[in-house]
Amino acid sequence: MLFSSVKEKMKFENVYFSVLKRLIPQYEYYEIETSFGNVNIIDVNANKNLPVVVAIHGIRGAGPLFLKNLLALESQCRIIIVDNFEELSLNYSNALNGENFEHGQWVFEILARLDVKDVTLMGISVGAISVLNTLSYDARKIKAAILYSPGGLTVKWGSIKFRWRLKKSIGLNANLVWNEKTKLLVQDLITDSDRISFDYLEYLINRFNFTLPNMVRMDREMASGISTPVYLVVAKNDPLFSSKHILSTAKSIIPNLKRAVVLKGEKHFMGNNQLPGLLHQLIHEISKLKE
């Protein structure tokens, strides 16, 4: 993301790392180089010999916002979160083309730089587009994939009412403003409306442009080449992406869909009631997969 001044960048960094420290005291943060630009990495359990989960997060946020759900795996996995390009993160990048293999090339370069293998690659929200693209491009370093509240499998909103409210809140200036209506929108998205998420989103919404997300759907021909086991976790009450259409699309275009789970009562940002136990189950199942 480009900042208008050094002061603005420093303030964003302060908020970013403050949220990280509130979530987890011990982590490594570093930068790696790709042909598309430098990428920032949050690495938990970097020095431990544990199964590796690499997560690509979704839109209008950065790694700290999405780390919360993954900390349930801290005792059994090395957790690596990649700050996605073109989002509210510290990355500087060229735009990636979602209609070809650029996302896949980008992620493959990241995995190569990290020197990891037998990875569980997780796509959160529209981060799933990068994961699906990678599975089509080159999946040699990937043991399995988990798509969590995934974009890229439907162009249908989960809630027309939510879309209408979001569009109305953005208004003519294509910007959200933090107010009571915006708080209600955030509550529609987050199952557990915790203080950390609210503080972070309030800062982001007040400082940066928020526009309606583009709905992109994975190309059927590209998906047909996926042989890696894929696990799907969908929120029943996701207002962004229709859970019904995600399931039907996934079943029709992903050849090796191992398991699809719909969590009732969950929203786009899932809570810590059902998800942690499910992630433990999925990681255990993946550990039993043959090489």
Q: Are 235 and 270 in contact (CB under 8 A)?
A: yes
Strands 78-82 and 37-44: antiparallel
What single DSSP character describes residue 289? Answer: S
- Token pair belonging to 102: 């650029």
Token pair of 169 as six digits: 């809140």
Full-model pTM: 0.89
Which region, left, alpha or beta, applies to residue 55 given φ > 0 means left and ψ of -120 to 50 means alpha? beta
Q: What is the number of other CB atoms lying within 10 angstroms of the CB of residue 218?
A: 25
- Per CATH, the number for 6-157+215-287 is 3.40.50.1820
Residue 9 reports pLDDT greater than 80: no
Polymer length of the chain: 291
Contact in structure between 154 and 241 (CB atoms under 8 Å):
yes
Which stretch of DSSP H or E encloses residue 169? helix 160-170
> Residue 61 has what pLDDT?
63
C-alpha neighbours within 13 Å on the C-beta side of residue 266? 24
Task: State the sign of the Cα–Cα–Cα–Cα dihedral 95, 99, 105, 108.
Answer: positive
pLDDT tens by residue, 256-276: 999 999 999 999 888 888 998
Output the average pLDDT for the chain.
82
Percent of the chain whose pLDDT exceeds 90 = 38
Q: Are 280 and 272 in contact (CB under 8 A)?
A: no
pLDDT in tens, 222-258: 888 899 999 999 999 898 888 999 999 999 999 999 9
The H-or-E segment that residue 14 falls in is: helix 6-23
